Amino acid sequence: MLVVGASGVVGRAAFEHFARSAGWEAIGVSRRPPDLALGTHRPLDLRDREACREAIAALPPVDHVVYAALQERPGLVAGWLDRELMETNRRMLEHLLDALAEQGGALRHVSLLQGTKAYGAHLGRMRVPGREREARHDHANFYWLQEDLLRERAAREGFDFTIWRPPVVYGHAVGSPMNPLAALATYAAVCREEGIGLAWPGGRTGPVDGVDARLLARAFEWATETEAARGRVFNVTNGDVFVWENVWARLADAFGLAPGEPSPQRLAETMPAKAGLWQEIVRRHGLRSPGLMELVGDSFVYLDLHLGYGREAAAPATLLSTIELRQAGFGECLDSEDMLVDWIAWMQRERLIPPAPDRRVARVGSRGVQLEAP
C-alpha cells in the first residue's frame, strides 16, 4: 500500500493502519516524515514531476494507493477558492499517476479523498443531508479536477478507485493545517497554565458530524477487497452528530479542567502569542512536542471555524448521509464524544500535551494509604 501524504491526519492514520495490518507492505511518501517508526517512508514533493518519477521508479511495484496529499495556502480558507491552487492539486495527482503508469501497470486500486466542500459547504447553505447521488455541485473545486483525471486514467489503464467524502477528520499529525484536536489541546494546556477553566472561545454552534481517522483507514482497507466499492463515491462519518457546546464540559474534564467562563476570541490571533508559554509547558512536563505553531500549523484557523467564533447563530448544517456506504457493506461506527476523549487521552499518553492531573485524594485506613476519587 502506497500512502501519499503520509504526514497528514488522514495519511498518517492510513500509513499506521496498513503498516500494522497483516498482508500489507506500507510505504508512505510526503514532504515531511510522519512521526511513526513503522513502515517505509520516502520524502517526496509531488509538485516536482521528475522527483516523483524517480521516487516511484525506486519503489517495488505499487498495486494500491491511498491518496491523501493536499496543498494548502497559509491562512487556509482563502486558498479554497484559489484557481491556481486547484490546478496545483490536480497536477500533483497527475504526476503520481504518470509515475505509476511508467512503473509497469501494477496498480489495482486508488482511494482518493474529497470532503463536504463537494456539496458546496464552504460557499453557503448546502442541502442536508449531503448525498452522493446528487448532481455535481456547480463550482470550481480541485475535487472535480482530480476526480475527472482519476476516472479518465482508471478507464484507460484498467485500475479501480473509490472516492471518499469525510467531514472533519479527527486524528493526529504534526503541523497539519486541519487538525482541530491539536489546536484544542494546546489551547486547553494554556488555559490550565494560566489557572483558568477551559473558557469557551467560540460563538454559536449547531449539530456537526465527524470521522475518526482510524475508522477512515479501516474503510480504505475494506474498499480494496470489496466489489461494491469499485468506482463509487462514499460519504463516511462516525455515524452520529454532536454539538461542541454540549460536549465542552466533558472535554474540559478530560484535560483536567473545569469549564471556564465564555471568552470569545479568535484563536488564530491570540494563540501564536502563547508560543513562549507553550515552550515552558513542554519543558516543565517533559513533553516531546515541537514548538506551538510547528505542532498546530494553521489548525487554529480551522478550530475557529468549527467553534463558531463571531457567530450569533449557528452556521448552516453540513451533515452527511452514510446510507450508501452502509448498504455497500461498511457499517463501522463510533461515538464522537467518546472519540474526542479517547484522542485527548492518547495525546496525553504520548506526551504531546500535559497529562491530566491526578484528582484522587489520599486516605489512610487499615489497609494503608489508598487513592480514591474526591
Output the domain CATH number for residue 131.
3.40.50.720
Residue whose C-alpha is closest to residue 108's, from 144, 54, 61, 42: 61
**Domain range for residue 138?**
2-169+210-235
Judge contact between 111 and 67, C-beta under 8 A: yes
State the cell numbers at 187.
489551547
What was the pLDDT predicted at 83? 85
Is 293 within a domain? no
The whole-number pLDDT of residue 369 equals 41
In angstroms, the CA 282 to CA 290 distance is 8
Residue 61 in grid coordinates: 511495484
Beta strand extents in 74-214 (DSSP E only) = 109-113, 160-165, 168-170, 210-212
Kindly state whether residue 157 falls inside one of the protein's structural domains: yes
Residue 304 lies in a domain: no
Q: What is the pLDDT of residue 371?
A: 41
Beta bridge partners of 40: 27
Query: To which H or E segment does residue 42 belong?
Result: strand 40-43
pLDDT at 235: 99
**Could you tell me if residue 264 is inside a domain?**
no
Q: Report in angstroms the alpha-carbon separations of 46 from 68, 71, 88, 357.
A: 12, 10, 9, 44
Query: What gap in Å lies between CA 307 and CA 264, rounded to an integer?
Result: 10
Asked if residue 117 lies in contact with residue 141, where contact means CB atoms within 8 angstroms, the answer is yes
Is 345 inside any structural domain?
A: no
Asked whether residue 195 is assigned to any structural domain, the reply reads no
pLDDT confidence of residue 112:
99
Backbone phi, psi, residue 164, to 5°: -115, 135
- Output the pLDDT for position 75: 62
Residuewise pLDDT in 10s, the chain (374 residues): 999 999 999 999 999 999 999 999 999 999 988 888 888 999 999 999 999 999 999 999 999 999 999 987 776 666 667 889 999 999 999 999 999 999 988 999 999 999 999 999 888 899 999 999 999 888 889 999 999 999 999 999 999 999 999 999 999 999 888 899 999 999 999 999 999 999 999 999 999 999 999 999 999 999 999 999 999 999 999 999 999 999 999 999 999 999 999 999 999 999 999 999 999 999 999 999 999 999 999 999 999 999 999 999 999 999 999 999 999 999 999 999 999 999 999 999 999 999 988 754 444 444 444 444 43
Q: How far apart are CA 16 and CA 231, in angstroms?
A: 25
Report the distance separating Cα 303 and Cα 308, nearest Å: 8
Type of residue numbered 92? M
* Span between the terminal Cα atoms of the chain, in Å: 49
Who's near 35: CB < 8 A, 6+ residues apart? 12, 174
Query: Closest Cα partner for 305 from 225, 244, 230, 239?
Result: 244
**Total count of domains within the chain:** 1
Give the whole-angstrom CA distance, residue 39 versus residue 17: 10
- Please give the sequence-ordered ranges of beta strands (E in DSSP) within 55-158, or none if there are none: 64-67, 109-113
Please state whether beta strands 168-170 and 210-212 pair in parallel, antiparallel, or not at all (unpaired): parallel
Residue 339 lies in a domain: no
Alpha-carbon gap, residue 161 to 150, rounded angstroms: 8
d(CA 1, CA 21): 11
**Biggest alpha carbon–alpha carbon distance for the chain:** 78
Residues 272, 75: contact at Cβ < 8 Å? no
pLDDT in the model for residue 121? 86
Cα separation of 276 and 145, whole Å? Answer: 42
Any domain includes 109: yes
**Residue recorded with cell 516523483:** 52
**Rounded CA separation 133/118 (Å):** 12
